[in-house]
Structures are given as structure tokens and as C-alpha cells.
Amino acid sequence: MAVLYGAYHLQSHLGGSGVLLSDVVGVKPPKVVVIGYGTAGGAAIRLAVALGAEVVVLGTNREKLRRFQATVPPSVRCLVNSREVLVNELKDADLVIGAIQISTYDTPPMIDEEMVKMMKPGSMIVDVTCGYGSGYLPTFSKFTSFDQPVYERFGVLHCKIDLLPAAVPATTTRAVSPLVAPYLLNLGESIFNPTFCDSISAAGKIIENGRIVHHEVARHMEMVNRERVHNA
């Protein structure tokens, strides 16, 4: 979905650069940079490759990146992420997709204002991670929506729609249901059967008896409250 949204909004009448996210004979292929190569990032990479784009994948774990490289066409460049690499790859990118696992209040910034300012006018960043706080993409000042999917900042389109697959619920439901069903059954069993122990449900528990019991969520809520007091 991130690649499809990017391809659509790169049209010039929508504020994009006017680049077609596809392979056209005699035309330099568009460049797509994907940060992260998990479920969301991997899907974006494969679709961008299928469309004929030049694809660059950035990750932090050299060994995992090497293994991922073996699963994609040789034309895909997989690079260990660093500020120097980012600066070099972003300056001529048409579409950047951020798909790291999680981004929170204390996630270090990865693509800062100076990097965004040097990107091509009308290029686009899609934040698939959709975390909270300034996180790894601090130029995103807000979430976007299906009604208002993009806004422009420093000449670059920004898109941060939480749960992009909700735009295609018929397909999403059929694809996700078989994967989620076993976890839901175990969750139900753990609720109604006190003797049943499900480690995944227990680890994912956020609230119990009206109290936040998940350590990371509690820590981030403290940050939210401090920010509210500071801004009051």
C-alpha cells in the first residue's frame, strides 16, 4: 500500500514530482528507498521491484541484511544504514518508505530536517511505522488520513496513515484472518480458563484491572504526561 500511495501522489497535479513509478523504455527508472525489510518493508520492496523501480534497502544488521539480499533480485541494493549512506541515497530518491519495527518518543531521529530539505522537490516520504512522538522521522508533525493523506513540508510530500491496509478491507481481512485466528483463540482461552497459560497473550497485556501493566507503555505514558504538563 505504501508504494501504491507513493505512486499515486507522485503525480504532478497532486503536488508530486510528476515521476511515474514504473519502468519506461528510454527513461531513467524512479528510485525507491526503503528503510527496513520486515513484513511491511519487504512487501514494499517487492512491489517496487515489480514496477521496475531502482530499489535501495537500508538496514542496521549486516548479517540479516545479507540474508535478505539473497531473497531479492540482484538489482536491489542492500546497504547498512548510516547518516552518510542516508544523505547519499536520499538526495535523488523519488519515494522513501520508512518501515522500521517501532518508533517512539525516545527513538533517535534518522531523517532530519536538513536531509529532507536536500531531497528533490515533489518527492515523497511514507511513514509505514506510524509510531508516536518525534521518533525516527521528526519532520512528521502529525498523522494523515485517508481523507487527507499527504501534506507538504520543505517541498517534500509526507504521508503517515495509521493502518494503511484498512483502505482495502476485503483483501486485508482474507489475508490476515488465518494468521490472527490462532492467537485470538489462545487469547480467549486464557481469559476464560484460569489454568491456561499463553505466554504471547501475557506478554502483550497492556491493562489489567484498570492499571497499565506493560512496562514500555507505562514508560511512554509518563513521557506523554510530562509533555502535556510542559506544554500547558
pTM of the model: 0.89
**Exposed (0-12), middle (13-18) or buried (19+): which is 150, by Cβ within 10 Å?**
buried
Torsion on CA atoms 77, 80, 86, 90, rounded to nearest 10: 10
Query: What integer pLDDT is reported at residue 220 of this predicted model?
Result: 82
Query: What integer pLDDT is reported at residue 61 of this predicted model?
Result: 95
Strand ranges (E), the chain: 31-35, 54-59, 77-80, 95-98, 124-127, 151-153, 156-159, 207-208, 211-212
Q: Phi and psi (nearest 5°) for 56?
A: -120, 130
Q: Give pLDDT tens digits along the chain (232 positions).
A: 999 999 999 999 999 999 999 999 999 999 999 999 999 999 999 999 999 999 999 999 999 999 999 999 999 999 999 999 999 999 999 999 999 998 888 889 999 999 999 999 999 999 999 988 778 999 998 999 999 999 999 999 999 999 899 999 999 999 999 999 998 998 888 888 878 888 887 888 889 889 999 888 888 888 878 877 777 6
| CATH classification (class only), 2-166 | alpha beta
Q: Are 206 and 214 in contact (CB under 8 A)?
A: yes
Query: What integer pLDDT is reported at residue 47 of this predicted model?
Result: 98
Q: What is the residue extent of each domain of the chain? A: 2-166, 169-231
Q: Is 128 helix (H, G, I), strand (E, B) or coil?
A: coil
Q: Is 122 left (phi over 0), alpha (psi -120 to 50) or beta?
A: left
**Exposed (0-12), middle (13-18) or buried (19+): which is 108, by Cβ within 10 Å?**
exposed
Query: What integer pLDDT is reported at residue 147 of this predicted model?
Result: 96
